[in-house]
Amino acid sequence: CERQDGRSFRQRLLVVANRLPVSAVRRGEDSWSLEISAGGLVTALLGVKEFETRWIGWAGVNVPDEIGQKALTKALAEKWCIPVFLDEEIVHQYYNGYCNNILWPLFHYLGLPQEDRLATTRSFQSQFAAYKKANQMFADVVNMHYEEGDVVWCHDYHLMYLPECLKNHNNNMKVGWFLHTPFPSSEIHRTLPSRSELLRSVLAADLVGFHTYDYARHFVSACTRILGIEGTPEGVEDQGRLTRVAAFPIGIDSLRFQNALLVPQVQEHIKELKERFSGRKVMLGVDRLDMIKGIPQKILAFEKFLEENPNWRDKVVLLQIAVPTRTDVPEYQKLTSQVHEIVGRINGRFGSLTAVPIHHLDRSLDFHALCALYAVTDVALVTSLRDGMNLVSYEFVACQEAKKGVLILSEFAGAAQSLGAGAILVNPWNITEVAASIAQALNMSAEEREKRHQHNFHHVTKHTAQEWAEMFVSELNDTVVEAQLRTSK
């Protein structure tokens, strides 16, 4: 940004997201340790460097006492983070309930949890009330820290009610909202009892962003069909006020991954992994243990591949690293047992006394261990049933300059639009097709792998998280200036 005197300055960005980039663990009455949070939103935003950024969000923990709150606020301030304290009841109703049991499955086309459908319908009103209350609590913290000229960037499905809360308080605030999940077809969004309220609130923002053009189109069409507001080439216009709607595909900080591979500790780890799996091709899955990631489907496809290709049985291993997530939501608890059951069965069926075909870890790996794993992988399997973008696929590509492994990628991940030409695209629901694509990947010629990798590597290294954030913020600044010009005419 430039001042009137021509000197440049870094614009202050208030990033508001339900989850802070660090989660807090209590060590004593007034002592806390902070750990990096998992998830694509955090990964992407940590790659954004060129703004003076303040984070506002929840530290993932209930802190009922004043001493604890004060100490945590202080510890977080060192990381430029400002906490929003949510009590247990709000977390239960807003985060576990409305966000993760209703909006998340719905936006990923999975509908409401089958057995809980009636219970969910009954508790809907109280959960939506908690959702609005939580959003207002985020707004109160933003209002407390806002300085004139700040850009306020709200993130994700947790905070769809936030733009309206902010604008009601201060109509001059520059407010952007970005969705990290798919926005579903308007036919799906129509089933939400709070469909209109959420759309109207999002429209209070100046700029609304999505990962892909399709998600943006679905949003505009939901506004037309549900609110009766017409879309324009720029976005959505209601009674003379324009909300700009556009696609801003996210990226990663690819250099961070490339540089990590040069660290001696990572090289040592790569060497160990190569020795450990020598003589076997390594296939890798890295996901939060979430129903949208298609982990059971992926493992069943691997079983089919082993069934149909006996010559590969002792020459390939699947490493599935699945960090547990949202463990208070029953649907996620069911998924964990389901995955364990399938892995156990397949290992019993195809394993021997000395080796098993699937190594499944229910945990998070540290950054260096993850990079080493990406680097030794021959085939990465990303089989999300739906996924806003999927940054694991980008991270894998960034670590593959030496090996040029193959990416098998769900056509229902946003990343299919950017890495589609380099990956083998699959329908994750079609286990036979995924099994065949595993065989194709393992048998692919070196020339073909090189060509596909170069396509993907070019994209991942060119379209970074930094570029994504700069484009969004610059568009938001321009949108606000244009709106001011329009009203002053």
**Site for ligand ADP, rule CB under 6 A:** 38-40, 43, 286-288, 321-323, 364-365, 370, 389-392, 395
In the list ligand ADP, ligand G6P, none, the entry touching 406 (Cβ below 5 to 8 angstroms by class) is: none
Binding mask 180-199 for ligand G6P (x = CB under 6 A): xx------------------
483 makes contact, choosing from ligand ADP, ligand G6P, none, with CB < 5 to 8 Å by partner type, with none
Q: Which does 19 bind (CB under 5 to 8 A by kind): ligand G6P, ligand ADP, none?
A: ligand G6P
Q: How far apart are CA 427 and CA 244, in angstroms?
A: 33
Among 12, 13, 15, 39, binds ligand G6P (CB under 6 A): 39
Q: Cβ atoms within 10 A of the Cβ of 24, count?
A: 23
Q: Which stretch binds ligand G6P (CB under 6 A): 37-45, 135-143, 164-172, 333-341?
A: 37-45
User: At closest approach, how far in Å is the CB of 315 from ligand ADP?
Assistant: 25
Pairwise CA distance, residues 127 & 99, whole Å: 9
In angstroms, rounded to a whole number, what is the distance separating the alpha carbons of residues 25 and 220? 41
Beta-carbon count within 10 A of 310 CB: 9
**Which parts of 40-79 interact with ligand G6P (CB under 6 A)?**
40-41
Q: Which is nearer to ligand G6P, 41 or 343 (CB)?
A: 41
Give me the least distance between CB of 438 and ligand G6P, in Å please. Answer: 26
Segment 131 to 170, residues that bind ligand G6P, using CB under 6 A: 156
Q: How far is the CB of 181 from ligand ADP (least distance, A)?
A: 8
Minimum distance from residue 458 beta carbon to ligand G6P (Å)? 25
Among ligand ADP, ligand G6P, none, the one that 364 touches (CB under a kind-dependent 5 to 8 A) is: ligand ADP
Does 19 bind ligand G6P (CB under 6 A)? Our answer is: yes
**Nearest residue to 439 (alpha-carbon basis) of 356, 355, 354, 381:** 381
Cα separation, 361 vs 335, whole angstroms: 14
Provide the β-strand partners of residue 151: 13, 174
State the nearest-atom distance from the C-beta of 154 to ligand ADP, in Å.
Answer: 17
State in angstroms the smallest separation of the CB of 177 from ligand ADP. 17
Task: Indicate which of ligand G6P, ligand ADP, none lies near residue 369 (CB less than 5 to 8 Å, by partner kind).
Answer: none
Contact (CB, 8 A) for 185 and 54: no
Near ligand G6P by CB under 6 A, which window of 36-44, 211-219, 411-419, 456-464? 36-44
Cα separation values, 440 from 99, 369, 401, 420, 437, Å: 39, 28, 21, 16, 5
Three-state DSSP class for residue 354: coil
Closest separation in Å from C-beta 288 to ligand G6P: 6
One-character DSSP codes across 264-327 = HHHHHHHHHHHHHTTTSEEEEEEEES-GGG-HHHHHHHHHHHHHH-GGGTTTEEEEEEEE---T
Pseudo-torsion of CA 459, 461, 462, 467, nearest 10°? 120
**Under rule CB under 6 A, residue 293 binds ligand G6P:** no
Would you say 156 or 378 has its CB closer to ligand G6P?
156
390 binds ligand G6P (CB under 6 A): no
Indicate if the alpha-carbon torsion angle 83, 84, 87, 90 is positive or negative. Answer: negative
Contacts of 275 (CB under 8 A, 6+ apart): none
Q: What region does 430 belong to: left with phi over 0, alpha with psi -120 to 50, or beta?
A: beta
3-state DSSP: the chain helix, strand, coil percent, rounded to 5?
50, 20, 30
Separation between Cα atoms, residue 350 and residue 372, nearest integer Å: 27
Least separation in angstroms between CB 283 and ligand ADP: 15
Q: Which is nearer to ligand G6P, 39 or 68 (CB)?
A: 39
Nearer of residues 287 and 331 to ligand ADP, judged by Cβ: 287
Determine contact, residues 427/287, Cβ cutoff 8 Å. Answer: no
**Structure token pair of residue 352:** 């021997």
Pick one of 54, 132, 269, 326: the residue that binds ligand G6P (CB under 6 A).
326
For residues 351 and 58, what is the distance between their CA atoms, to the nearest angstrom? Answer: 43
What, of ligand ADP, ligand G6P, none, does residue 370 touch, CB below 5 to 8 Å by kind? ligand ADP
Residue whose Cβ sits closest to ligand G6P? 39
Instruction: Say if residue 235 is exposed, middle or buried (CB neighbours under 10 Å; 0-12, 13-18, 19+).
Output: buried
For ligand ADP, the closer of residues 130 and 398 by Cβ is 398
* Binding status of residue 253 toward ligand G6P by CB under 6 A: no
Q: Which amino acid is at 327?
A: T
Give 40 or 68: the residue with its C-beta nearer to ligand ADP.
40
Question: How far is 255 from 150, CA to CA, in rounded Å?
Answer: 28
Shortest CB 16 distance to ligand G6P, Å: 12
Tokens 């900080």 sit on residue:
253
Q: Which is nearer to ligand G6P, 91 or 407 (CB)?
A: 91
Contact 51, 13 (CB under 8 A): yes
Min dist CB 463 to ligand ADP, Å, is: 14
Query: DSSP readout, 465-482?
Result: HHHHHHHHHHHHHHHHHH
- Alpha-carbon distance of 27 to 33, in angstroms, equals 7
- State the minimum distance, in angstroms, from the CB of residue 39 to ligand ADP: 4
Residue nearer to ligand ADP on the CB measure, 243 or 390: 390
What is the binding site for ligand G6P (CB under 6 A)?
Answer: 19, 39-41, 156, 180-181, 325-326
